[in-house]
């Protein structure tokens, strides 16, 4: 029961942080301030966390509704590897980028990776 609560709270934190990251980015004007390269890196981080979320949703739909993970551990391992690389990109973007969306972007990516890790532990 506690594991389900932790999983649900982590998933909710990922979604809320993701929405807040994009909201904070949209509130800032101009979108790419000075120095421009730091703003571009932060935007790349936002795009990476979006890709991470899209990958999570698509792989969850595949694992739950299409084929199931019991027959395709290779694809599950690829998903974990890509998720890790996207997490590294987001962490670097949060450290080097510029903007108010950086902490929310980092928290969202960390929560998505945490959910993926919990799914991997349950296999």
pLDDT of residue 68: 64
Half-sphere exposure at residue 94, Cβ-oriented, CA atoms within 13 angstroms: 19
Q: How far apart, in whole angstroms, are the C-alpha atoms of residue 56 and residue 53?
A: 5
Q: Which pLDDT tens digit goes with each residue over 62-107?
A: 777 776 665 667 877 888 899 999 999 999 999 998 888 889 999 9
State pTM to two decimals. Answer: 0.82
Question: CB neighbours of 76 closer than 8 A, spacing ≥ 6?
Answer: 59, 63, 69, 120, 123
Q: How far apart, in whole angstroms, are the C-alpha atoms of residue 27 and residue 59?
A: 31
């Amino acid at each position: 029961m506690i594991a389900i609560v932790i999983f649900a709270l982590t998933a909710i934190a990922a979604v809320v942080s993701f929405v807040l990251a994009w909201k904070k980015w949209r509130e800032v004007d101009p979108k790419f301030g000075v120095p421009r390269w730091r703003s571009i890196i932060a935007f790349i981080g936002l795009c990476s966390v979006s890709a991470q979320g899209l990958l999570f949703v698509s792989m969850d739909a595949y694992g739950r509704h299409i084929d199931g993970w019991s027959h395709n551990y290779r694809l599950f391992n690829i998903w974990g590897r890509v998720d890790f690389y996207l997490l590294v990109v987001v962490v670097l973007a949060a450290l080097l980028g510029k903007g108010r969306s950086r902490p929310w972007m980092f928290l969202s990516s960390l929560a998505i990776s945490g959910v993926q890790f919990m799914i991997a532990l349950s296999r």
